[in-house]
Structure 1
Amino acid sequence: MKNYYMDNAATTPLSKEALEAMMPYLTDEFGNASTIYMPGQRAKSAIENSRRTIASTIGAKPSEIYFTSGGSESDNWALVGAFEHARPALREKGLPGHIITDKIEHHAILNTCRYLEAQGVEVTYLDVDAYGNVDPAAVMASIRKDTFLVSIMTANNEVGTVEPIKEIGEALRKHETETGQKILFHTDAVQAFGHIELDVSELNVDLMSSSAHKLNGPKGVGFLYIRRDITLPGFIHGGAQERGRRAGTENVPAIAGFARAAEIACGSLGIRKIRETEVRDHLIERLLTEIPGARLNGDRASRLPNNVNVCFPGTDGETLLLLLNERQIYASAGSACASGSLEPSHVLMAMGLSKDDARASLRLTISHDTSIEDTDYVADTLKELVTRIKKI
């Protein structure tokens, strides 16, 4: 029986092309990139070629790309590194330091902020509107004299809302020009990279995080973009890898696979967005018009092309997931990082949903391989299951 994988926001299958790019470095070309003999230098060359490929997809310079183990490490490095960078000046002025973020960030951001709060940093967690949008004016109104970092995700991992990163970046640059206060701007682009167009110069970001397994690359590799004029301290200490700022023997196969996956994803972005948006909207329309009471979570227009998040009041998301699983439909009730949690989604709660409605919501995330027929099967199945649960 066919499987219907509808959880591409959690992870994506490794593409054949990415696997092919990885295979030489898993077999014959196994050299350590830090060595000076030829096998090691070939591995080093593969890393630098991959760095150039990744940089080209976001309008960055190769020297601004640092490979990491994934989005969580990149987020941690960005936030902790920004604090370490600012700490000497803050200490000299007797200030605690201040970060601005929002309430619907991924736990890699929120929990790192809580760690920094334990170090004395003060954090403003901005509210969002009912669609998950951050207000750029609220960001600017929250700035203090000791604000050293703003971190706002590019697109939300649960509801797919695309945030006004460009507007926030422009406002921060204007603030710097007018006041002389430099505030670093970080964006977690894990869900957005490879799914919507990103250019670090246009967005006016200083730091950007990404992860390969969200765009048909391997798990365990990501990058942190660090703008060339920023000296962010290293996060993992040891050897001189990644120009002395991220120690550890490089994962050459994963880096090569990441670069190939990114090249394909960004190269086919225009066509893929059109097709995914069509399939996404077809599924949304069927769910909202054919299931009484169903409501879309997130912004209808400013939304990732592959994200469908719907509330089915009077049901239970976990029960729906188990019943869908029996029909070979694989979805989620929110972030994969929070699976197993008894608490309702912090994202949906911040958007104003009740606990019951948050628990009654499902996230269905499609891919370029998802067909209209696939979504019809999902919609038909959900209609049946929601009706059955409501009767019970």
Structure 2
Amino acid sequence: MSDQVSFTVVPEGTVTTPKGFRAGGLHCGLKKTERYDLGAILCDVPASAAGVYTLNAFQAAPLRVTQESIAHSGKLQAMIVNSGNANACTGQQGEDDARAMRAASAKALGVEEHHVGVTSTGVIGELLPMGKVLSGIEQLPAKLKLDGGEDFCQSILTTDLVQKMTCVRVVVGGKEVHIAGAAKGSGMIHPNMATMLGFMTTDVAIESEYLQLLLSRITDNTFNMITVDGDTSTNDMVVVMASGLAGGESLHPGHPDWEAFAAGFQYVGEYLAKAIARDGEGATKLIETTVIGAESDDAARKIVKSIIGSSLVKSAVYGADANWGRIIAAVGYSGQPVNVNTVDIRLGDIAVLEQSRPVKFDEEAALAYLKTDTIQIHVNLHMGEGKATGWGCDLTYDYVRINAAYRT
């Protein structure tokens, strides 16, 4: 993708900013509090759709239903989501319940059943209280609004502390188009789709196959480059819907504005990925790690994941301890080729290792830097052209507190 900025961030944008979309949420009783726990995004027309899904072997029932819907025609018109219950590891009853949600939503919203996607997030292994869910679905149509993006964001949260959404504007074929996204995720976050849900909307005209190509392409560099705790969830999913209502000719890889659109699409994915990492359960700091000079981009990605996934690195960042030994150890056990004599490491602008030899540095300056809320770790292997960046967070006492009582 081009390094030139070819898009404009829309500060107040939500998933309903692209033409043709409404969204909303409500409380149907899945959560003990009055926070919204059921939401939907609805498009005025069947939209080109694409999705990426968790690699966990115990893939939750709603994901299979959504894949089935997209496979039918490459289009979706509505996404229904509940929080508070993951509908995962629930056997045939879970499958039946996910399909019942799809059927009820199609009827309530007046769309074809195969144009409805379903997803759930929350506690694993408990059956959905379908009476509450179906009652909520009946009430959803009245809640869907052009300004309902924030209500939708609230409906998808579990242990998240903040809503996560962004929007950009791009010119394609002389017409303004928008790309927007909303996500949830705070714990059970690890590369290869992590309890993370992402929803992207756009009004560009594009065929599903090219939308899938683009989503898969940016996922490797965004959603698959974050980790909070090393746990890959059963329910992770990112779905994108393109209404085509901005008009103009259909976008494709040979189009002169393809890279401009791709850059905006990349920005939305990266923004949401970083927001998830920053909002990790109990987290106080975002850790951004960049590896360059690797044998390949794939090797660089794996080394980045090794560093941001290290409990010892995460603990050191929480404690503002410039313990570069933990970083070099994570590089060494990543399983990727490393020249043990040529590694450089920096914490922000502070060099701590050059050519694999310790560098004297100002401990007080390092302490002050590590007390800030965004920590950058730079590693140069001096071996090749491979590079990658990923995001994680520190490991705190609150992470244990939150997860020790997740069900209660």
* TM-score bin, normalised by smaller chain: under 0.3
Q: What TM-score, normalized by structure 1, do the two folds share?
A: 0.26
Structure number with the bigger relative contact order (C-alpha 8 A, sep ≥ 6) is: 1
Higher share of residues assigned helix: 1
